[in-house]
Amino acid sequence: MTMVTASPSELNALASMNTLRDRVQRNDPDALREVAVQFEALVMNLMLKSARDAGSGEGLFDGPNTQHYLEIMDQQVSLALARQGGLGLAKMLGAGPEPAEGMTMARRTRFDGPPDARGFVEQLLPHARSAADALGVDPKLLVAQAALESGWGRATLSHSNGLPAFNLFAIKAGSDWDGDTVAQHTLEFVGGVAERRFEKFRAYPDLASGVADYVGLVKRMTGTGGAESEQLAPENFVEGLTRAGYATDPDYGNKWLAVYRGDRLHEAFADTL
C-alpha cells in the first residue's frame, strides 16, 4: 500500500482550518459549508498527489519548478471541484452550495479545443503574436504565461453555465473594471504564505478581447510596449511584470520561465509552426 504524505502546501491548507474552527466556535452560519468544502478539497488534492506519485518517473514533469506549478494547479482544481459538489462530502455534512451574492460563480473547465499543449498553442498563438508585437516580447513567452495560469487550457475560468470567460491570464476584476466578472476561490500569497481567497476575475466575450485587455494592463503596469520598442529579453519582461505586482506568488517569475524554457512548450511550438 502506497503511503501518502502531506506536502507543505497541504499543511498550509490544514492551518487555514484553524481559522475556520474559530468561526465555527463563533457560530458563523457559513463556517460549516466552508469547513466541508476545504476538507473535501484537501482529500481530492491528496488523491491527485497520490496519482502523480504513482505515475512519476524520468520524463517531462520531473523538474522542481514544474512540479511546484503542478502542485499549485492541483490545489486550485481540487478546491474548484469541491465547490461544485466534488465527492459529495459537503452535502453529506448538510452544507449546501455557496451563494454567489450577485456574482457569477466561476468554474475551472477545459479550454475550447483539444486538451493538449499543441491544441492550446494553435488556438492562442495568433492572438499571442499580435500581443507580442504590441509589447515587444517573444510570443512564446505570452503563451507560456497563459499555460501557467490556465493549466494548459485544462483549468480555465468559465461562467457557471459552462461558457468560457476567455481570461487565460487570470486577470482580476479590480475596482476600475465595469465589465462582466466571474468569481473563483484562488491561492494568494501574503507575506510569502499561501492563503485561499475568494476573488472576482474579468470575463470577456471572446479570446481576442481577453488578450487585448491583457496588453493594455501590461502597458499600464510597466510602461513598456509600442511599435518603436525593441524586443525585450524574456527575463527582463518577466522581471518587470512581476516587480509591478502582476502576481502575489514570490516564485511566479521562476515558474513562468520554467514553462517558457520547458520541452513541452518547445515541442508544441515545433508541431504548430
Active site residues: 188, 213
Please enumerate in sequence order all residues whose Cβ is within 8 A of that of 245, keeping only pairs 6 or more positions apart, or say none: 221
Rounded Cα distance, 234 and 212, in Å = 20
CA 273 vs CA 48, 126, 141, 268: distances in Å:
33, 11, 15, 9
Give the three-state DSSP class for 223: coil
Rounded Cα distance, 84 and 112, in Å = 20
Closest among 151, 153, 145 to 171, alpha carbons compared: 145
Rounded Cα distance, 106 and 115, in Å = 19
Is 193 exposed, middle or buried (CB count within 10 Å of its CB: 0-12, 13-18, 19+)?
exposed
Q: Are strands 104-105 and 181-190 parallel, antiparallel or unpaired?
A: parallel
Rounded Cα distance, 113 and 105, in Å = 22
